[in-house]
Amino acid sequence: MRYISTRGTAPVLSFEDAMLSGLARDGGLYVPESWPRLNAAQIAGFAGQSYEDVAFQVMRPFIGDTFTDAEFQDLITKAYASFGHSARCPLVQLAPNHFVLELFHGPTLAFKDVAMQLIGQMFQHALSRAGRRVAIVGATSGDTGSAAIEAFQNLDAVDVFIMYPHGRVSEVQRRQMTTPSAANVHALAVDGDFDDCQARLKDMFNDLEFRDRVGLAGVNSINWARVLAQVVYYFTSAVALGAPHRSVSFTVPTGNFGDIFAGYVAQRMGLPIERLVIATNQNDILHRTLQTGDHTKGAVVPSISPSMDIQVSSNFERLLFDVYDREAAAVTQLMTALRDEGGFTLSQGALTRLREGFASGRVSEAETSAQIAATLKATGVLLCPHSAVGVRIAEDQVQTATPMITLATAHPAKFPDAVEAATGVRPALPDRMGDLFDRPERLTRLPNDLAALQAYVTKHLP
């Protein structure tokens, strides 16, 4: 399988090179040249298999000869050994025909671990084999950074620099980034919001001299390998509820559009997904886009679901690429307008195609809190605020014919203040996180300034 850029002018790469480089050199995102298909018999065969075995079969067509089968199986096994649940991503029923898929049993309690734990293994294997070393720089609204630091700490082929918006992540998120003591990880508190952090990251990738000099690599959700790892749980959960013999729908709390794009990939691969529902908080650019075709950036408004406080949804570019018939020139024009004019309007044809597979909804802060309380009362399940946004929207979409699966993207204990305010119950951290609040923190505060951030990275490479 070869990988092409959504902007059409970057070199075509193997899986290994697409994974190690992250953003394409023309500013675009890598996507597979074509979508591999699994037939119904193959999908039906996943029933009853372990998460790891399904993961191998779903991802195998995408990785080419980057790893042998035995190597790839071994990397998958190591990646998920740290999970606190033997099913890895278990399903829990909330109501007739409505289920939540718990994606938070990894080491940092959010779904980002599912991909990041595997990427850590794949990076280490590919780099050490090549005798190479890279500088991973990431921007995070909280969960990606902690997952990356957890996955890459102490690996000897990488240094990790994570930029997060100062004062805008939860205390658990911050401590997960600032308490690991490995010398190869750096938590950078930037004076700005998440979109600023993400913009500086893109600036670093677009500074080709800097990029080559430091061996820059990205593990944000723009990295194709992350999207790929997330495709797996769409298959395991859908098959558990009867796919491919019946269709399922998914509701996905959405920020950067990585997680829900993985659902779209599963659908393209042949999984019968009827609907993918985009759930947003008050930062609702994607909901507005689906309703009106107008994709205009607003200002980011902080919320109790901070991992979705985003106005620039990077992975949406990958969907636009398909919706515009893989015309790189059309995508480039849209993305240029987004950067220079703050937005664009979808063509009528593109909007119609988008609405064929996707629906959307927006949830206010008050509705999010009310949903956490209502779900606790009705089911005994405590949701994190992001998952509650999803459940709120999914409830309006549940149909008798098709099971609805809402992705529970984080553990409630990762956002204890919001959960306690909504329910009066303070969710406890799982035992394995034990002493998080007692460990010393280590971070560097930096301005929202490209030169200052680049200087820090350069100075802290070995």
Ligand X SMILES: *Cc1c(COP(=O)(O)O)cnc(C)c1O
Are 333 and 307 within 8 A, CB to CB?
A: no
- Backbone φ and ψ for 432, nearest 5 degrees, come out as -65, -15
Residue span 284-323 as binding mask against ligand X, x where in contact by CB under 6 A, dash where not: -----------------------xx---------------
- Taking the least distance from each CB to ligand X, the nearer of 43 and 143 is 143
Instruction: Please identify, among the stretches 236-244, 248-256, 357-365, 427-435, the one whose residues bind ligand X according to the rule CB under 6 A.
Output: 248-256
Helix (H) or strand (E) holding 450: helix 450-459
CB crowding 277-309: b at 16 or more within 10 Å, else e: bbbbbbbbbbbbbbeebebbeeebeebbbbbbb
- Taking the least distance from each CB to ligand X, the nearer of 221 and 289 is 221
Closest approach of ligand X to the CB of residue 409, in Å = 3
- Among 6, 176, 249, 254, contact with ligand X (rule: CB under 6 A): 254
168 binds ligand X (CB under 6 A): no
- Among 259, 317, 322, 395, contact with ligand X (rule: CB under 6 A): 259
- Among 123, 257, 344, 358, contact with ligand X (rule: CB under 6 A): 257
Query: Among candidates 111, 195, 122, which has minimal Cα distance to 146?
Result: 111
Rounded to whole angstroms, how far apart are CA atoms 71 and 78? Answer: 11
Integer CA distances (angstroms), 3 to 13, 274, 445, in order: 5, 27, 37
Closest approach of ligand X to the CB of residue 262, in Å = 8
Rounded to whole angstroms, how far apart are CA atoms 130 and 122? Answer: 12
Closest approach of ligand X to the CB of residue 75, in Å = 22
Q: Which of residues 215-244 bind ligand X (CB under 6 A)?
A: 221
Residue 165 structure tokens? 């918006």
Write the secondary structure of 348-371 as one string of H (helix), E (strand) and C (coil).
HHHHHHHHHHEEEEECCHHHHHHH
Query: Among candidates 188, 194, 180, 191, which has minimal Cα distance to 140?
Result: 194
Query: Among candidates 117, 116, 49, 46, which has minimal Cα distance to 80?
Result: 117
Closest approach of ligand X to the CB of residue 39, in Å = 28
Q: Which of residues 101-130 bind ligand X (CB under 6 A)?
A: 110, 112
Query: Among candidates 304, 419, 312, 437, which has minimal Cα distance to 372?
Result: 419
165 binds ligand X (CB under 6 A): no
Closest approach of ligand X to the CB of residue 386, in Å = 4
Integer CA distances (angstroms), 392 to 94, 113, 313, 375, 384, in order: 12, 24, 21, 9, 12
- Among 409, 419, 422, 457, contact with ligand X (rule: CB under 6 A): 409
- Taking the least distance from each CB to ligand X, the nearer of 7 and 318 is 318
- Taking the least distance from each CB to ligand X, the nearer of 106 and 258 is 258
Count of residues that interact with ligand X, criterion CB under 6 A = 16
159 binds ligand X (CB under 6 A): no
Rounded to whole angstroms, how far apart are CA atoms 346 and 367? Answer: 29
**Catalytic status, residue 112:** yes
- Taking the least distance from each CB to ligand X, the nearer of 18 and 222 is 222
Query: Among candidates 140, 118, 323, which has minimal Cα distance to 231?
Result: 118
Q: Which of residues 346-405 bind ligand X (CB under 6 A)?
A: 386
Residue span 430-459 as binding mask against ligand X, x where in contact by CB under 6 A, dash where not: ------------------------------
Catalytic position from the list 112, 297, 377, 414: 112
H and E: helices and strands count for the chain? 19, 15
Q: List residues near ligand X by CB under 6 A.
A: 110, 112, 143, 221, 253-259, 307-308, 386, 409-410
Active site residues: 112
